[in-house]
Structure 1
Amino acid sequence: MKSGWSLASLPPMVSRWLGYRSGAMKPHPLYRVCFWSFLGAWIGIAVLVIIGTYSPQLHAYHSPLIIASFGASAVLLYGSIDAPLSQPRNAFFGHVIGALVGVIISKLFLQLADFESTAQYEAVRWVAGATATATAIVLMQVTTTVHPPGGATALIATVDDKVMAMGWYYIGIVAMSAALMIAIACLVNNIDRKYPAYWWRPTKLPLAFDPGNLATSLPSPSSQHGQEEDVALDMPSQSSSSSTLAHAILIDPARPLDLPDGLLGPDDIAALKTIHQKLGGSTKTEPA
């Protein structure tokens, strides 16, 4: 494994609030998940509305109390915290891309044109809204920062007159709102749960993953020297824990199932290796 900086190198009181845990967490009962989802969403939305209500700077920009698309982000950031669409990179850049695209499309289609009548203006507005949303989706896909509420952020910039009047300031307010929502998610979600699952990208394996090849999911039956050798997974270091990934069944490339010591006996491991060898042999092309 490659050595380098990781969240594990930070003091525990810091790394905890950034989503690091030295071991796997047990699943929570539904009532606890619902409680923390409610509390996180309540605090996140309340903070944004309070800032929008009492901030003189936002009043100067004629900003709405809250950008409506952050209501949808609250569902992801506090209610579905393990989903890829809920991770900080997607949540922040998805909104920023949506705001940037929305403002640009708004200016090109609606604010720079000289319309002869209100009817003509309204006839073009739907084109701007559809174009902004579709363009934002494509850019989020290209940059792998898909966050569904980001599409709404782009749409709002082309159909809400109050937001359109804000112009480029809209992008800054969206970025600030996204950063605050993520910061609150890190604080509330890490009290009893774990967030984020990753900050930039999921952990990658050092080998090409082929779902049809068990060699990437089970311990290798033998090395070139005839000795048994386990497949090494590029996962966060767990040197402080007695748990290892000596025998891991790979369900998801980003989330291997770490089997506790003693769960599988020698006979179980031997059976898995036998199945591995048989399936591996069955995939070989037989000579004509």
Structure 2
Amino acid sequence: MVTNFMRRTARLGRQAATGHLGWLRGAMGSVIGISLAGLVTMALLGSQAQSLPWLVAPLGASAVLVFAVPASPLAQPWPVIGGDWLSAAVGIAAGHLFHIPWLSAAIAVGAAIAVMSLCRCLHPPGGACALLCALGATGAQAWSWPVLLPIAANILILVAVGYAYNGLTGHPWPHRATTVPVPVANRPGYEIADLEAVLGEWNEVLDVDVADLDALFRAVERRADRRERGLVD
């Protein structure tokens, strides 16, 4: 098992600093996104910046998704906005309903997962938003509904930076699947319904869109066909 892991790691090599989704590209996007979110929110709050959070920790996790894996279904604008903000609201509500920190936090995270799933905005940092706000609502500062305003500002600024930065660096966001190539002739093809049926049989949630999977499989089919005809090395 260790040997196989080492072989795969050696084959992948180090991630490039630039190109595709290089680490430098993602790192710089996060620096810009978090900096602007904090500075602009602090400026908007003015004197209230001492009593309200001007930058919340779960935003860092959202930045990782938005700038490092912008094609992920979990990293799209609606999951970022809805997942973080709705979960924060759930956390505040849980804190004021149950008052006990550990119980409020646990119920908030569970309820946030349910809300995000029903609203089709599943976003892992949303769980952190729910937990943070539940603890804030039951803590010494007794966070209440006004806290949702700076959190909303944080989220919207990060999304705006994500839209601009990802587009400028060659990864248009929101992500759209690449054009699906024409199926290769003389090969047994499949339909989207077949792909969806297999995913249903697996009974797992994969962090990739069905359209992206289809585009990938079609491209692999075409490359295999070209290789067999001696058109690629």
TM-score (norm 2): 0.67
The structure that is helix-richer by fraction is 2
Instruction: Write the distance in 1 (CA, Å) between the matches of 2:67 and 2:58.
Output: 15
**Other-structure match for 1:253:** 210
Matched with 2:17 is 31
2:92–2:143 Cα contact (<8 Å) kept: no
Q: Which position in structure 1 is the counterpart of 2:172?
A: 195
| 1:147 paired to 2:133 | no
Within 5 Å, which residues of 2 pair with 1:1-288?
30-32=16-18, 33-57=22-46, 59=48, 62-110=51-99, 124-160=100-136, 165-198=142-175, 209-211=193-195, 253-255=210-212, 256-257=215-216, 259=219, 264=225
Asked if structure 2 preserves the Cα contact closer than 8 Å seen for 1:92 and 1:178, the reply is yes
Computed over aligned residues only, the root mean square deviation of the Cα atoms, in angstroms, reads 3.5
* Larger Rg belongs to: 1
Stretches of structure 2 lacking an aligned partner (at least 5 in a row): 1-14, 180-190, 198-207
Question: Helix, strand or coil: the match of 1:188?
Answer: helix
> SS at 1:63's partner residue?
coil
Separation of aligned partners in 1, 2:107 and 2:142? 19
- Report deviation, 1:102: 0.8
- Where 2:52 maps in the other structure, the secondary structure is coil
The one-letter code of the counterpart of 1:174 is: I
Q: In 2, distance between residues paired with 1:151 and 1:181?
A: 18
Write the distance in 2 (CA, Å) between the matches of 1:191 and 1:202: 18
User: 2 CA distance for matches of 1:178 and 1:104?
Assistant: 19
Q: Tell me, what secondary structure is at the counterpart of 1:135?
A: helix
Out of 85-94 and 187-196, give the one that drifted further.
187-196
Amino acid at match of 2:98: F
When normalised by structure 1's length, the TM-score is 0.56
Structure 1's unaligned 5+ residue stretches are 1-28, 111-123, 214-250, 269-288
Please state whether the residue corresponding to 2:17 is helix, strand or coil: helix
Aligned sequence identity (%): 26
Please give the alpha-carbon distance, in whole angstroms, between the structure 2 residues aligned to 1:212 and 1:44. Answer: 35
Contact 1:61 1:169 in 2 (8 A): no
Question: What is the letter of the counterpart of residue 35 of structure 2?
Answer: A
User: Could you tell me how far apart the structure 2 residues matched to 1:176 and 1:212 are?
Assistant: 37
Quick one: which amino acid aligns to residue 140 of structure 1? M
Post-superposition Cα deviations, 1:10-58, rounded to whole Å, max 9, x if no partner, equal xxxxxxxxxxxxxxxxxxx721121211111001111122234444447
The Cα of 1:132 is off from its aligned counterpart by 0.5
Letter in 1 for 2:112: A
Aligned partners of 2:75 and 2:17: how far apart in 1? 21
Pairs aligned (count): 187
